[in-house]
Amino acid sequence: MDQESYRILQVEETATDEEIKASYERLKAYYNEEKWKDGEAGNNAARMLGKLDAAYNEIMEFRREQQKSTSGESSFAAVGDAIRANDLGRAQQLLDDFNERSAEWHYLQSVVFYKKNWMNESKKQLEIAIQMDGSNTKYREAYDKLKSRAEYRQQSGGAPNTNPNPDPVPGDEQMGGNWCTQCFSFCYTCLCVNCLFNLCCNCH
């Protein structure tokens, strides 16, 4: 696409959607003030407001179309990268852009919900994934661990999740790596349980 849109928004082509939006909002606020000035300064600000809107819409539409045209495997990898970076907003945006929602889509949506500590929603998405692909061991293991964690929390009186960013993917390092180092607080108090989607430690 034309690089002029990125220049207008004062961002690089490699900028994230969040960075582009932030720059767009900053510039728009500036030119909304400038447009009240007399003479050419006000006229130029009004023109820039129109250019900002056009540039932002063009970039966002291009990125949405680019995502839709990407193969499923690559798209899922992008979602995984976003989850690994704990950029849940980006991960959700990528998931929302999918036209077809396969079992893997529902699995990744479950991961996002789990990372947000939305356990019921995470469980529902895993159930859908299993219904669509009942032979997938990864989905079933994740579901069993989710149920175990829910039961543990009930038995412990609904103790809050002490780890805000657990690694929910069984055996998949791209989603956040080994969680052993992150469950220290549980291990320290002898309350460590099997990590929901990743049996990475066995604490006693």
In contact, 108 and 125? CB cutoff 8 Å: no
- Residues 56, 77: one domain? no
- Residues 10, 59: one domain? yes
Helix orientation angle between 72-84 and 103-115, rounded to the nearest 10 degrees: 10
> What does the pLDDT look like over 148-204, one tens digit per residue?
887 776 776 654 444 444 444 433 433 333 333 333 333 322 333 333 454 333 333
> What does the pLDDT look like over 72-119, one tens digit per residue?
555 788 899 999 999 999 999 999 888 778 899 999 999 999 999 999
In contact, 182 and 165? CB cutoff 8 Å: yes
Separation CA 94–CA 75 (nearest Å): 8
> What does the pLDDT look like over 20-71, one tens digit per residue?
999 999 999 999 999 999 999 999 999 999 999 999 999 988 887 776 655 5
Please tell me the total count of domains within the chain.
2
- Residues 64, 140: one domain? no
- Residues 85, 123: one domain? yes
Range of the domain at 94: 72-160
CB atoms within 10 A of CB 145: 20
- Residues 83, 118: one domain? yes
In contact, 174 and 84? CB cutoff 8 Å: yes
3-class state of residue 83 by DSSP: helix
What CATH number does the domain containing 34 carry? 1.10.287
